[in-house]
Chains A and B, each alone.
Chain A
């Protein structure tokens, strides 16, 4: 044995001992600082908050970027980069007092100029996917002093703060904007985590932002793993290969609840799944037809048998969590009444087309088949067609004159990503929204007027108008609400402060590993 081998042996021993010590010591500490591994179903699309079209991207973006305000898990509004704000009595002027001492991840200070630069970006860049969530309502943005900014609206909007909770209202480093950084892949925000690596179709890894204004982040990082197969995500969280599994199939809930290592969080969403009715279809012109269809469907059974209890029967065109919700009590299951209405309308044996996507919303394809059965049971004939999403969107967004004459009934879901009622009524039911998301081609001047009034009403007056809107919509039924799906998030015991926002977003930025259940 020569000196060289000896030295090598010594080094090896030292390394092994050191490693053993390093491995043992942190285990005694009460709070572990390690990477949170989140298994999600699809890869993200972009890291630019002003341009983001999908939820998975928002899960990641929420850790990197912050806005002036944000939603908590009950959709209450919380200050973030704005410490407080004032609203003028006429509801048009919002003055924000900004948090001091905040720096972007590239070192640029956050101040009123930075806020202005972000709104300028939204105003000037017409390609940004989310600009319409804010730009149409804003007249101008003024810098008052270094830490005060004033946003002047064209008309009062009661839910303007809610709109600001959307990623469209998040703050990007003005330096990065100016230098034309590729923000899709190189995000620069103020949040507690920053991007380490995005490996397409595999994972997105975030590392802590040591200069975070709220103190050093509590995790060693966050890794979002792309695992498309539902069963594989479940297995990973069961085995500990992942800490969190997003979008777990409802059918697994009962089994997973018995696992002592796991928390099973069955959450609510603000999504409503509708059976849309083409108001231009000659087969659906008669209001009694649409009412009969609504009465023919056993929503309770669909929730129980197809959603396996994860979700609720729809009560209105908007979800119960939203401001402005009103239960008209009209969505009932009454097949006898339905049969009678069909008879009155002289439509016995009529054949209707029913379209559905598959796998877009929880239970969509299965629910459409259940609806077809219910319609058959009241004496209608149904021709079902399952679309793949690409063709479906293209077909549904056609102008009324170009739309397929076969469009009668179609299943579609909607969740306002702004988390408030305007995001439902305006795109879905306003006449102006034809040919866009008013997919049922519904045009009712009374409803148009009420929607506009509701948008600009002071907060305590909102329900007055939305109640009338819902009464009319649930009588006319251009969109027949079926169910309000829930969501299932499963995570390992010991993870704290993991929140689920009903806008279908899982919020990981506050999470940490603690001890105990």
Chain B
């Protein structure tokens, strides 16, 4: 990485990145989200999992700025802690999907032949499971819970990264310098790490950012359907799902987690768009 930073082209990219408004705004939102997740134990006013039943469903007031939920828990504290849950689920699941996708997609493209054919077929099948249904099915099989949601969301992201990695690896494979490296007998592993990976990095970084946004939404969607993280662990999608019973009587229960979810996803999408502009100048006007 240090070697990369010395590269003048990279420096130019970095300079452009710091000037990009999408990156600035998106980055700021993401930073707040990450800080909220990391600092939750220090900044939340109450224990997010312990309420007083006698204080249930209070509207926002001085004691509870966002009000309380059905169990009398402080919604502000739950929104803050919810950031941590989303942070863990989205980053870990995208990370797993990226690693697995890079390995499978890269190998598939590099080795080619029947392996490539089989991988492509399987990815086609996985991608024709429409959107949330695959994650939902996996969640139903492994049961709810934080780890299982991560697995389900990772599996849902996985074919996307296989596709991207495979696509860019196919391009790079044909390049002269890779041919040359092969000719002078460089090992396959070395070619993979030195040429294939760095050249595929830009689209993967952009896509990973955008998929983080999608993963936060998917994880929240699973929780909304009752297949997500277990209560009383605070999770935004689940908080909204629980609130459906009190739609009329206590709208504050679903409004605040919704805002948090929306702004966070927006932040990642802005950041992803900005990175796309900077790293992928072709689409710049």
Chain A–chain B contact at Cβ < 8 A: yes
Taking Cβ atoms with an 8 Å cutoff, the residues of A that contact B are 230-231, 249, 251, 298, 301-302, 305-306, 358, 365-366, 369-370, 372-374, 376-377, 384-388, 391
Residue tally, chain B, CB below 8 Å to A: 26
Are A373 and B71 also in contact (CB < 8 A) when A386-B226, A386-B231, A391-B143 are? yes
Q: Does B122 contact A (CB under 8 A)?
A: no
8 inter-chain pairs at a CB distance below 8 angstroms, sorted by A residue, are A251-B246, A301-B53, A302-B53, A305-B54, A305-B70, A369-B232, A372-B232, A386-B144
Q: What chain B residues lie within 8 Å of A365 (beta carbons)?
A: 231
Q: Does B138 contact A (CB under 8 A)?
A: no
Q: Does B50 contact A (CB under 8 A)?
A: yes
What 9 additional pairs, Cβ within 8 angstroms, besides A385-B144, A388-B144? A231-B247, A251-B246, A305-B53, A373-B51, A373-B71, A376-B50, A384-B230, A385-B145, A391-B143
Q: What chain A residues lie within 8 Å of B144 (beta carbons)?
A: 385-386, 388
User: What is the interface of chain B mostly: helix, strand, loop, or mixed?
Assistant: loop
Report Cα–Cα, A384/B229, bound state, in Å.
11
Report Cα–Cα, A387/B144, bound state, in Å.
8
Report Cα–Cα, A384/B242, bound state, in Å.
16
Q: What chain B residues lie within 8 Å of A386 (beta carbons)?
A: 144, 226, 230-231
Q: Does B132 contact A (CB under 8 A)?
A: no
Q: What chain A residues lie within 8 Å of B50 (beta carbons)?
A: 373, 376-377
Report Cα–Cα, A374/B245, bound state, in Å.
23
**Residues B30-51 near A (CB distance < 8 A):** 49-51
**Residues B50-75 near A (CB distance < 8 A):** 50-54, 56-57, 70-72
Q: Does B140 contact A (CB under 8 A)?
A: yes
Are A384 and B70 also in contact (CB < 8 A) when A249-B245, A302-B53, A376-B50 are? no
Q: What chain A residues lie within 8 Å of B230 (beta carbons)?
A: 384-386
Q: What chain B residues lie within 8 Å of A373 (beta carbons)?
A: 50-53, 71-72
Residue of B nearest to A229 (CB): B244
Q: What chain B residues lie within 8 Å of A391 (beta carbons)?
A: 143
Are A384 and B226 also in contact (CB < 8 A) when A302-B53, A306-B70 are? no
Q: Does B249 contact A (CB under 8 A)?
A: yes
Q: What chain A residues lie within 8 Å of B70 (beta carbons)?
A: 305-306, 366, 369
Q: What chain A residues lie within 8 Å of B56 (beta carbons)?
A: 305-306
Residue of B nearest to A305 (CB): B56
**Residues B138-173 near A (CB distance < 8 A):** 140, 143-145
Nearest-Cβ distance from residue B142 to partner chain A, whole angstroms: 11
Report Cα–Cα, A251/B57, bound state, in Å.
12
Are A366 and B71 also in contact (CB < 8 A) when A373-B53, A386-B144, A386-B226 are? yes
Q: What chain B residues lie within 8 Å of A251 (beta carbons)?
A: 245-246, 249
Residue of A nearest to B228 (CB): A386
Q: What chain B residues lie within 8 Å of A249 (beta carbons)?
A: 245
Whether B51 and A384, one on each chain, are in contact in the complex, defined by CB atoms closer than 8 angstroms, is no
Residue of A nearest to B141 (CB): A391
Q: What chain B residues lie within 8 Å of A301 (beta carbons)?
A: 53-54
Q: What chain B residues lie within 8 Å of A384 (beta carbons)?
A: 230-232
Nearest-Cβ distance from residue B229 to partner chain A, whole angstroms: 10
Report Cα–Cα, A302/B70, bound state, in Å.
11
Report Cα–Cα, A366/B56, bound state, in Å.
11
Report Cα–Cα, A298/B52, bound state, in Å.
11
Nearest-Cβ distance from residue B56 to partner chain A, whole angstroms: 5
Residue of B nearest to A372 (CB): B232
Report Cα–Cα, A50/B51, bound state, in Å.
47
Are A369 and B54 also in contact (CB < 8 A) when A231-B247, A251-B245 are? no
Please encode chain B, from 220 to 237, with 1 for each CB lying within 8 Å of some chain A CB and 0 for all others: 000000110011100000
Report Cα–Cα, A513/B50, bound state, in Å.
50
Q: What chain A residues lie within 8 Å of B71 (beta carbons)?
A: 366, 369-370, 373
**Residues B62-119 near A (CB distance < 8 A):** 70-72
Report Cα–Cα, A164/B175, bound state, in Å.
84
Q: What chain B residues lie within 8 Å of A376 (beta carbons)?
A: 49-50
The residue that A298 contacts in the complex, of B53, B57, B140, B226, with Cβ under 8 A, is: B53
Report Cα–Cα, A370/B57, bound state, in Å.
13
Report Cα–Cα, A305/B144, bound state, in Å.
27
Q: What chain B residues lie within 8 Å of A306 (beta carbons)?
A: 53, 56, 70
Report Cα–Cα, A497/B231, bound state, in Å.
43
